[in-house]
Chains A and B, each alone.
Chain A
Amino acid sequence: MNKHNLLLQNIPDFVAHLQTYGEVHAPCQKGENSFSFEQVTDPSRVVLDYARTLQSIRKYFLPPTERLLNFSLTDNTFTKVAIENNHRIFLGVHSYDMKAVLKLDFNFSHRTPEINYLKRRENCTFIGVSYEPDDYHFSRSVGITVENTEGFDLFLDRHENGYTVQVLTERGTEITKDFTALGEALEIPEISRQFKNKIKFNYNRLPEVMEQSWNSPVWEEVAQRCVGCGTCNLVCPTCYCFNMVDNVDLKLTDGSRDRHWDGCLLSSFAAVAGGENFREKLASRQRHRIYRKFKYITDKTGDPWCVGCGRCTAYCTAGISIVEIVNRLSDEFEQTHLRKSSAPVGQKIQGVSL
């Protein structure tokens, strides 16, 4: 593997160099302490030292709203919508957000591969960057180190005066070979960055914990504080549920069928016409969210569907912490099941056991 050195002062030039290969999208400062992936026009606005962006790069592949088709009410016909797939270079992606994209790849290619998502995922180059874990990050607990390079073409590992650039793919070689400001990699001892925020059990034990947590009082306690706003779904880089809605223009002649992000925490999510709501209680919706991250897909793939970015906790309007929920359930599991010799297995539909 090739390694180079990139000095801090050369970053704007490096960004400008990347722009000759395609659109560059990188974290830019929005508010005092908030960052957002934006298309870079001014290389000096790129910020590579940041804790987290409000939205992950999921928004490029599964946009918050997306037009699925255009229709005409006048003649009851529709036209298809072209899916854009410009060449994009994502600079400054954290390892957990890259991992989240790889998880979404699974969701959108598994069983029924969807052209909308997969076409947008074409022609992408990913350049990772290391970060200093803050109070919310817990990626290590779900198997993703800061320095995890999976999915990246290049990875920039921060040191005192700049970055060690790891070239990981042919594409990585292609976009760096003509950039003359890269120096010889420095001899720097490898450091593994530490996380203060931790899940107490190894993640591969969490499906077992969840298996026993269906009736835990924790769900009701969380529901007491939760306001059901769905922010946790909106900022989660692995949430991909959506709604489909027809929107009609003001002339009432044309319109579009659009999809937009939806959230399993919202009360209407599992409601059907006629009044039945299959997940009416907030407690059952919180439980569904946590099971989606640590049990359902994990049972099938072996991987947790949470990447430890900390967004759902950092942005929660009610101060609910996903790590705290999982640790409380783990404590309960430890107390009630690990100290008994025979733990009950499985859940039964209440009232019916044939």
Chain B
Amino acid sequence: MNILTKHEHTPLELYYPEMAEITAVNQFTELEKWFEIKLPDGKELGHQPGQFALFSIFGIGEAAISICSAPTKKGAFDICVRKVGMLTEKMHQLEVGQKIGVRGPFGTGFPVNDFKGKDILIIGGGIGIVPLRSLINHVIAYREDFGRIIILYGAKNPDELLFPDELENWDNDPSIEYHVTVDQGTPEWQGNTGVITTLIPGLDLDLDNTIAAIVGPPIMYKFVLMALKSKRLPEDNIYMSLERRMKCGVGKCGHCQINDSYVCLDGPVYQFSDIKNLPEAI
């Protein structure tokens, strides 16, 4: 039998990128830079909040990066990149008008339709706020579809806070409950100090009607989950996004596997109940 006709779906060319144009940049911190990217012919990326794409520069390679704009933004999308390796270092040198390879979107997003009518508790640590910004902008765009919007954001110090203009908007918006904390304050810092979990005990939550979306460094999840457990938030109401090494983005190369789950296909956004039995998850 012909192997190509045996399959339900047509075999695909999976590894060719689209050459997209950088249309705006903003250096948030020494390490983090924001980019607005436009696909050729005004094509939409067509992503869901929480999904990622693979970005590449020829001669350097490819890496998985979350999309940080909501799908409500048309004609272009945003990413925010921390300089941590060879590719991201090179990306930081890119300027408006230059091109970058894009494959995707890949993976699962936050199931925003299931979130309708619920209170949304968003917990972001460090660059975890980046993928969450896509969800935040979505729930703000469809504000009437959701109950309370509570944003908890933690960073190491005030200089590392990302999206400064938007943080101010969230803070000033009476329909958003925004709480920020830094591990180490500065003389000018007047807000909370302490790790992000210190913001959780004081919350008054409608437990059955609250969805928690968590993104942060691996160490953060364990403590945030314990804090939410003390609050008695049902585990089915908890969603989190996990980071792993990725090469192919399509469930072949094996790098992102957490036990039997491929982060690029089954994640990066998981319902807590789907991963609580995976010992490699956090």
Contact = CB atoms under 8 A, between A and B. Distances in A.
A233 B226 CA distance: 38
Interface in A205-257: 214, 240-246, 248, 255, 257
Given A243-B247, A273-B88, A354-B225, A349 B61 contact: no
Given A257-B15, A257-B58, A352-B226, A118 B4 contact: yes
A113 interface: yes
B255 A269 contact: yes
Contacts of A297: 260
Range for the number of chain B residues in contact with chain A: 35 or more
Greatest chain B CB density within 10 A among A107, A119, A243 is at: A243
A349 B276 contact: yes
A119 B254 CA distance: 21
Contact of B85 (A243, A273, A300): A273
A3 B163 CA distance: 74
Interface in B66-125: 82, 84-85, 87-88, 98-99, 101
A74 to B, nearest CB: 10
Contacts of A107: 252
Nearest to B261: A296
B267 to A, nearest CB: 13
B15 A264 contact: no
A244 B61 contact: yes
A205 to B, nearest CB: 18
Main secondary structure of the interface of B (DSSP, over half): loop
A111 B259 contact: no
Given A121-B3, A349-B279, A115 B11 contact: yes
Interface in A111-129: 111-116, 118-119, 121-122, 124
A113 B9 contact: yes
A336 interface: no
B280 A278 contact: yes
A346 to B, nearest CB: 5
B54 to A, nearest CB: 9
B229 A112 contact: no
Nearest to A255: B59
Given A271-B245, A352-B225, A68 B255 contact: no
19 contacts: A76-B19, A78-B101, A80-B16, A108-B252, A113-B12, A115-B14, A118-B11, A244-B253, A246-B59, A269-B254, A272-B243, A279-B280, A349-B275, A350-B279, A352-B225, A352-B276, A352-B282, A353-B276, A354-B238
3 nearest CB pairs, A to B: A241-B254, A273-B85, A296-B260
Given A112-B250, A244-B253, A264-B254, 5 more contacts: A121-B4, A122-B3, A244-B15, A262-B254, A349-B279
